[in-house]
Amino acid sequence: MGGREVEALRGVDLTIERPGFFAVMGQSGSGKTTLLHLLAALDRPDAGEIHIAGRAIHALTEAEATGFRRRDIGIVFQQFNLIPTLSARENVELPGMLAGEDQAHLAERSGMLLDRLGLKGRDHHRPDALSGGEQQRVAIARALLFSPPVIFADEPTGSLDSGTSERLWSLLKEVAGECGTLVLMVTHEPAAAVHCERIFVLRDGRMTAIIETEGLDAAGVAARYQHCTRAT
């Protein structure tokens, strides 16, 4: 950048060995988005290794990375990333359509997911006819289409009001518990991170602390986080 080398991440070492709801927490510029892009095979690391569900992500070809993103992980973005001309059901089924999956199976699977996420009767609505919370639930259903072992969530409630956000955080926690999925959420909000069982603190491109949330409320998480950032 202007002749100056910028290290977005600096030797991050992160290991999660079981399903559950986890968070990476850090301020803007800490490297959260870069880390998520690397884990989701949207970018390639300059050095080091990334292993997810038994696969060496850092070594994938572009074609392999596309298949990995489509089937082996789910990604939930802050801005939903729904196709405006498609219905809720079609948005959920889209990754399967691109993969050439059987349409009858996709229809059954998408219908089940939308019903489970509280969107029964909304499956034929386009995104502009859905609330922000409903759109994000469609995005979560899409992420679950292939029952991936890992879901990444990038500030998933950044565009939602506080009440809707609380319901979405609880929903992600339920997904992790009921589906045996590892959900890793990137956030800067203590109110979001408190729903996770463990918080990995990222600061200036380095993983500097781990916060166990048992017994903490949002204020407690905020206080612990501030202590971790001051201590480092």
| pLDDT tens digits, 89-103 | 999 999 999 989 999
pLDDT band at 232 (very low <50, low <70, confident <90, very high): low
In CATH terms, the fold of domain 20-81+147-231 is Rossmann fold (3.40.50)
Instruction: Give residue 222's pLDDT.
Output: 96
Mapped onto helix, strand or coil, the DSSP state of residue 25 is: strand
The pTM assigned to this predicted structure is: 0.92
The pair of structure tokens assigned to 110 is 């998408």
Mean pLDDT of the chain: 93
Mapped onto helix, strand or coil, the DSSP state of residue 162 is: helix
How many whole angstroms separate alpha carbon 81 and alpha carbon 62?
21
Report the pLDDT averaged over residues 49-78: 93
- Which residues, listed in sequence order, are joined to residue 21 by a DSSP beta bridge? 183
CA distances from 188 to 16, 24, 29, 49 (A): 20, 8, 11, 25
Instruction: Give residue 11's pLDDT.
Output: 87
Domains of the chain, residue spans: 20-81+147-231
How many whole angstroms separate alpha carbon 136 and alpha carbon 132?
6
Which CB contacts under 8 angstroms, 24+ apart, belong to 114-121? Answer: 114/88, 114/89, 114/138, 114/141, 116/141, 117/141, 117/171, 119/88
